Amino acid sequence: RLVATTVERHGGLHIAFNNAGILEAGPLADMDEANWDRQLAVNLTGVFLSMKHEIAHMRVHGGGVIVNTASNLGAHMRLPFLGAYAASKAAVSALSRAAAKEYIQKGIRINAFSPGPIDTPMSLRPGETEDDRTTRMKDALPIGRVGTLDEAASAVLWLASPEASFAVGHDLVLDGGATA
């Protein structure tokens, strides 16, 4: 997957959204170095490079908001066979929080969003149908379902909004109670 970053102007602020992430499962002992490198390249280096350019743009244009996509897997929860993914997403959370302290005085507010399973192809296991996933999620998450795209978008938009202007370096977990 390619890193998709968009910068939009809302209410006088430049808001950058990026949704980098790959999820590949397997035991660490069986994972080859190229796969580990690829996970880090997309999930962490992609976010770092996006932030580098977003921050440069925002410094010239009077500030803004960055919301990075981490995951509930990583800083908040770990699962077997997802070590590389969890490590890369935990690093996104840490990077976002450190950068938030560095740039808040320059008018750039940075937060992270850590979703659990959301109604996208990434929440489907290989060969799994949406009906299969619905059945699996009834027992897998306390809420009993995957999150909707509207729920995820609303959370991210809140983090980027003026109403969340006191949220700096926050990592908002939206996962139906998986990490509660």
CATH of 5-174 given 3.40.50.720, 3.90.700.10, 3.30.450.20, 3.50.50.60: 3.40.50.720
DSSP notation for 72-83: SBTTTB--TT-H
What pLDDT, in 10s, does the model give residues 80-106? 888 888 999 999 999 999 999 999 999
Q: What is the pLDDT of residue 136?
A: 95
* pLDDT of res. 11: 54
Which one from 5, 21, 43, 85 is the annotated catalytic residue?
85
Cα-based distances in Å from 16 to 22, 49, 65, 104, 175: 20, 13, 6, 15, 22
In the chain the first and final C-alpha atoms are separated, in Å, by 30
Specify whether 103 is catalytic.
Answer: no
What are the domain boundaries of the chain? Answer: 5-174
7: helix, strand or coil: strand
- Position 29 scores a pLDDT of 82
**Residue 138 belongs to what H/E stretch?**
helix 130-140
**Contact assessment for residue 72 and residue 114, using Cβ atoms and an 8 Å cutoff:** yes
Q: What is the pLDDT along the chain (180 residues), one digit of tens a residue?
A: 333 444 445 555 544 444 455 666 778 888 888 888 888 998 999 999 999 999 999 999 999 999 999 999 999 999 888 888 899 999 999 999 999 999 999 999 999 999 999 998 888 888 999 999 999 999 999 999 999 988 999 999 999 999 999 999 999 999 999 999
The structure's pTM equals 0.86
